[in-house]
Amino acid sequence: MAERDKPRAVTVYDVAHRLDLSPSTVSRVLNNSLLISSEKSDLILRTAAEMGYVKRTIRRHAARSILNIALFLPIAPEAQIHLFYDFAELIVSIKAGFGNTRANIVTVPVGCAEEVIGQKKIGGIDGCIFAFSEPDPAFTAVCRAKDIPIVLLNRTDPELDFVTADNEGGVVRLVEHANRVYGSAIRPAFVSFPVMSHVSAVRERGFNVGCERIGVAGADRRVYPIYDLREVPGLLEAATVDERNVIVCFNDILAVSLYQAALHRGVRIPEDFGVTGFDNSPVAGLLDKKITTVDLAVAELGRRAATWLRERIIERSQVRLADTVPGRLVVGETVGSRRE
């Protein structure tokens, strides 16, 4: 077909003329703006589809763009559960990941996700970061319909983009470190936290993999699930009865709680048994001894997520994000002295 014989592409002006609306109103709707009522938006989108309108892909200028990014954070009845990371560090790393592209970061509790997409006053969301949480299917469907990218931090989902810490590998390193201290006498236990089911299951798997690597059979290891920090004293008693000499905790918060419970009962750490955490979180600094832990690499998670969003939104990249970031082993004072 000759160039002059090709049918003319339907434009914003054609749709506006058909509906007797201003081109600016039609353009806003076709560019996912939330400033127009849902009824009018539905009418415009339906008419554009009927007329065969195809949106052109136009790259945004990185330095001149201002992106609206929704940062979703988890909520819980017990606020201390979420003291495992430095919020300021996360924000700074996200800002750094966007480089010379300015980003307005709107922080939102996970339970209020739908309200954000419907907020007209923010002028539309360009991308979403779910930090230590995940969206529900309905919200994901809305974002896909509006071509709003979603990225998860420290969660994995085969249907979504994500960047996660190496939760399994981190616990393996903790077990191997404990083995270098206790050798063949090691009697390990893992404290799981099913309240955070996704991450807890992965870290528990790391504990079992680590035990297999050092030759600790299933019958010689223990897993203690707890659902509330008030259960920690009972956990301490169970570990004492089972003669555990190193307890690998799901995270630093559980390790701090266990340390304090042991101190209250006159149990010495690491002389009576060793304790490890995970995350290298600020809360660990409350103790008089440095906890042996694994760094969650929050700054790297935030930076990678933001860099991917920038490339997805500005450069129109279609590259999938499915990164695992290894955590650094932080050797503290809660696992005893290394054997010579």
pLDDT (tens digit per residue) in 287-333 = 999 999 999 999 999 999 999 999 999 988 999 999 999 999 999 99
Q: Write 263-268 long-range contacts (CB < 8 A, 24+).
A: 265/233, 265/236, 267/236, 267/240
How far apart (Å, rounded) are the C-alpha atoms in residues 70 and 125? 7
Strand bridging mode 322-325 / 329-330:
unpaired
Q: Is residue 144 situated within a structural domain?
A: yes
Looking at the structure, do residues 219 and 311 belong to the same domain, yes or no? no
Per-residue pLDDT, 122: 45
CA 166 remoteness from chain centre:
12
Looking at the structure, do residues 158 and 101 belong to the same domain, yes or no? yes
Q: For residue range 231-273, what is the model confidence (pLDDT) as tens digits?
A: 999 999 999 999 999 999 999 999 999 999 999 999 999 999 9
pLDDT confidence bin for 4, thresholds 50/70/90: low
How far apart (Å, rounded) are the C-alpha atoms in residues 207 and 195? 18
pLDDT confidence bin for 121, thresholds 50/70/90: very low
Mean pLDDT over each residue of the chain, to the nearest integer: 88
Tell whether the model's pLDDT for residue 59 goes beyond 60: no
Looking at the structure, do residues 231 and 277 belong to the same domain, yes or no? yes
Amino acid at 71: L
Looking at the structure, do residues 220 and 291 belong to the same domain, yes or no? yes
Find the Cα–Cα–Cα–Cα dihedral 279, 284, 289, 294, rounded to 10°: 0
Q: Is residue 333 situated within a structural domain?
A: no
Looking at the structure, do residues 145 and 188 belong to the same domain, yes or no? no
Tell whether the model's pLDDT for residue 161 goes beyond 60: yes
Per the structure, the complete domain to which residue 115 belongs is given by 66-165+298-325
Looking at the structure, do residues 290 and 172 belong to the same domain, yes or no? yes
In terms of pLDDT, which residue wins out, 117 or 243? 243
Locate 1 and state its tokens.
Answer: 């077909």
C-alpha closest to that of 208 among 219, 197, 195, 194: 219
Q: Is residue 86 situated within a structural domain?
A: yes
Per-residue pLDDT, 52: 84
The number of distinct structural domains making up the chain is 3
What's 45's domain CATH number? Answer: 1.10.260
- Range with lowest mean pLDDT among 34-48, 124-138, 257-271: 34-48
Looking at the structure, do residues 111 and 172 belong to the same domain, yes or no? no
Tell me the mean pLDDT in the region 204-231: 96
Tell whether the model's pLDDT for residue 102 goes beyond 60: yes
- What pTM was computed for the model? 0.81
- Range with lowest mean pLDDT among 57-61, 152-156, 287-291: 57-61
Tell whether the model's pLDDT for residue 145 goes beyond 60: yes
Do 162 and 103 contact (CB within 8 A), yes or no?
Answer: no
pLDDT confidence bin for 339, thresholds 50/70/90: very low
